[in-house]
Amino acid sequence: MKASGGAFQAFSINAGATIQGMSQSAPQRGSHLPFIARTLMPREIAANATMALTLGSIEGGLVGVVVKTQFAGTADPVWVNLAVATVAGAPAFANLASLSISQLAEGRDKTAWVSILQALTAFFCMAMALVPTSAWGLVAVTGLMVGARLSWAGVITLRSAIWRANFPRHVRGQITGRITVIYSLIIAISAGLTGLLMNHWPEVWRITFPIAGAMGLVAAWRYQRMRIRLGARLRQQERRQAANRAGGQLRQSIDILKTDHWYRRYMLTMFAFGSGNLMVIALLVVLLTEQFGVSRFSQVMITTTLPLLCLSVFTPIWARRLDAVHILDYRAKQAWTFVLAVGLFAASAVFDWIAGFWVGALALGAAFAGGKLGWNLGHNDFASDEQSTVYMGIHVTLTGLRGLIAPLTGVLVYQQLEAMAEGWGRFVLLFPLTLTLGGAITFVVLARWRRRELPPMEADQAQ
């Protein structure tokens, strides 16, 4: 996407000036990084920081609160709750488009594709502000949120291949962590500010969303300057791989899951474990509104802002761990922070402990910090360079499948419990807690099995 005029170009340069300064200071503090990483990392940080202003407006927790509070009287409460589940799960189930986007961009300039998809994300964000407060508006805002997250899912998939090419394995987690910290802080602050203003002016999101979308267009324009190390060779490798492949990436993905038994086990465990995690935000929005009458600002703080602020604190810690060990050993420890977070939420709901939701939000942030790093980079411990995009495509597509199923299932279980007896819906968080606990235990088992197959010295280092 080309800039349409000098005014737009001047605005975009000025808007990113402060962020650029932040990004350039990072390599100076990390001069141990390879030259190529020090050169390209500031550009990634600047582009992601600007895009974070858009992402703050399409966070599942924030949009879930908007849907639940602004559209509550436009349709039957069950349908409103299902819409909440859809928008809260949209960041995950939008990944169903990942394999298709990955195949379309195979052998082509990934930076150009990322730029276009970022612009689409921004346009959908701006369009959400125009929907009427009606049943049709409820459908429209849900659909636009899905569209925005579908576009962003493509960015995540292609960006993973760019990061793999540009950043060496031994520092990739730390670099990803720095990027994650900066944009998570911006998302947290922007979403929290919107939530605070909604307490006084419920319709303020109709102003903040277009502003956030405009910043996304700036980010899309900036990303066109990004380069991929040895990009021409990578595109040639992908084209050769596509020419030699029987069938599309779906066929290749199925073959990978058949032949790579460790990746298959990892994906199966992630499906159960992740399903529990993906239920939580939608259920929190419904519970905090219907069962506890919590304010809009408190809901946004618990479901979005506090977890993201805490994520920024814990990401560097988890990044060092991820750089040092295989993803299975990493998950065997990191998964228990999710168990802690969901357990706190469940106990808070059952025992009417409002303060516990705030503590749980902090624990959820610590869990997200490690979870986001593992989610973005974990597949690289199984994949070769030319297969990295396909492995990531498998991962995010399965994330999309559970993102489609899990939040809706959680809300339907909640509605069934409430139909059985009023107030029983408070027990619904025991369901995702069970799934998360089972996944964490399985990761521990898988890590031990894998270490048994390694030579003794490597097995000791893996721990």
130 alpha carbon, distance to own chain's centre: 25
Question: What pLDDT is stored for residue 267 in this prediction?
Answer: 93
- Hunting for tokens 């690289």 — which residue is that? 380
Which of 118, 126, 150 is closest to 48 using CA atoms? 118
Does residue 100 sit within a domain? yes
Does residue 400 sit within a domain? yes
The residue ranges of DSSP E strands in 15-72, in sequence order, are none
Domain containing residue 25: 6-462
Instruction: Please report, for the domain that includes residue 311, its CATH number.
Output: 1.20.1250.20
Question: What pLDDT is stored for residue 81 in this prediction?
Answer: 93
Question: What pLDDT is stored for residue 9 in this prediction?
Answer: 37
Considering its fold, how many domains does the chain have in total?
1
Its sign, for the CA torsion 283, 286, 290, 295, is positive
Does residue 348 sit within a domain? yes
Could you read off the pLDDT tens digit of each residue along the chain, which spans 463 residues?
Answer: 333 333 323 333 333 333 344 444 444 444 465 666 666 677 777 777 888 889 999 988 899 999 999 998 888 989 999 999 999 988 888 878 776 776 676 656 677 888 899 999 999 999 999 999 999 999 999 999 999 999 988 888 787 777 777 766 666 667 777 777 887 888 889 888 998 899 889 899 999 999 999 999 998 988 877 766 655 566 566 566 665 655 666 777 888 889 989 999 999 999 999 999 999 999 999 999 999 999 989 999 999 899 988 988 888 888 888 888 899 999 999 999 999 999 999 999 999 999 999 999 999 999 998 998 888 788 888 887 667 778 877 887 888 889 889 999 999 999 999 999 999 999 999 999 999 999 999 999 999 998 888 665 555 555 5
Does residue 284 sit within a domain? yes
Question: Measured between alpha carbons, how far is 90 from 146 in angstroms, rounded to an integer?
Answer: 6
Question: What pLDDT is stored for residue 251 in this prediction?
Answer: 77
Contact 177, 318 (CB under 8 A): yes
Does residue 1 sit within a domain? no
- What would the DSSP string read from start to end of 120-168? HHHHHHHHHTT--SSHHHHHHHHHHHHHHHHHHHHHHHHHHHHHHHHS-
- Hunting for tokens 């199984």 — which residue is that? 382
Segment 53-109, tens digit of pLDDT: 899 999 888 999 999 999 988 889 899 999 999 999 888 888 787 767 766 766 566
Segment 424-463, tens digit of pLDDT: 999 999 999 999 999 999 999 999 998 888 665 555 555 5
Long-range Cβ contacts of 145-149 (<8 Å, 24+ apart): 145/58, 145/63, 145/86, 145/87, 145/90, 146/86, 146/87, 146/90, 146/94, 147/120, 148/58, 148/90, 148/120, 148/121, 148/124, 149/58, 149/90, 149/91, 149/93, 149/94
Contact 444, 332 (CB under 8 A): yes
Contact 400, 86 (CB under 8 A): no
Contact 355, 227 (CB under 8 A): no
Give the CA count within 13 Å in the CB-facing half-sphere of 24: 6
**How much is the pTM?**
0.76
Q: Look up residue 278 and give its two tokens.
A: 């993906």
Question: Measured between alpha carbons, how far is 259 from 72 in angstroms, rounded to an integer?
Answer: 49
Question: What pLDDT is stored for residue 306 in this prediction?
Answer: 92
Angle, alpha carbons 112-257-99 (nearest 5°): 25
- Residue 134 zone, left/alpha/beta (φ > 0; ψ -120 to 50; rest): beta
Amino acid at 411: V
Question: What pLDDT is stored for residue 25 in this prediction?
Answer: 41
